[in-house]
């Protein structure tokens, strides 16, 4: 699972997704990309399951690029604990994804297979997605 190696602070404040991504909003490395059509949080488990789906279709020839990283730790207090006594422990690591962010890219394989693989990987994520081609306008 992806998670940061080290942090300046153990628990951070919550970061909300912005209206539209100002960076990472174009396909830069591969031929096709998976774009978030809505902002939200994507956990490290969701990123890993989407990566497994993409690696199933790329085999030895294709290349996948993961453009997001889960840097935000979401905390949770245990059940039936009284109010106060701090923030709680980090339960999961999430990537904050804005609308229009290219999350995954794929290249080096048949275009029909690439689009199908990205569509299947999109089902594993908690935000709605669409597949875009390199050079295509991202709105």
Q: Where are the domains of the chain?
A: 32-79+87-133
Fold of 32-79+87-133: Aldehyde Oxidoreductase; domain 3 (3.90.1170)
HSE-CB for 114 with a 13 A CA cutoff: 22
Comparing 4-8, 40-44, 114-118, 135-139, the range with the smallest average pLDDT is 135-139
Q: Can you give the pLDDT at residue 43?
A: 95
User: How does residue 24 score in pLDDT terms, banded at 50, 70 and 90?
Assistant: confident
- Higher pLDDT: 60 or 118? It is 118
- Average pLDDT of span 46-66: 92
| Gap between the Cα atoms of 76 and 105, Å rounded | 32
């Amino acid at each position: 699972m992806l998670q940061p190696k080290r942090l300046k602070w153990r628990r951070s404040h919550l970061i909300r997704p912005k209206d539209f991504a100002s960076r990472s909003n174009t396909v830069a490395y591969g031929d096709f990309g998976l774009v978030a059509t809505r902002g939200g949080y994507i956990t490290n488990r969701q990123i890993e399951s989407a990566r497994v789906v993409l690696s199933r279709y790329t085999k030895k020839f294709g290349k996948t690029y993961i453009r997001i990283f889960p840097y935000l730790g979401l905390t949770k207090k245990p059940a039936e604990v009284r109010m106060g006594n701090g923030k709680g422990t980090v339960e999961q690591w999430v990537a904050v994804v804005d609308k229009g962010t290219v999350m995954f890219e794929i290249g080096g394989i048949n275009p029909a297979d690439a689009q199908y693989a990205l569509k299947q990987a999109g089902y594993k994520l908690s935000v709605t997605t669409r597949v875009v081609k390199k050079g295509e306008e991202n709105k």
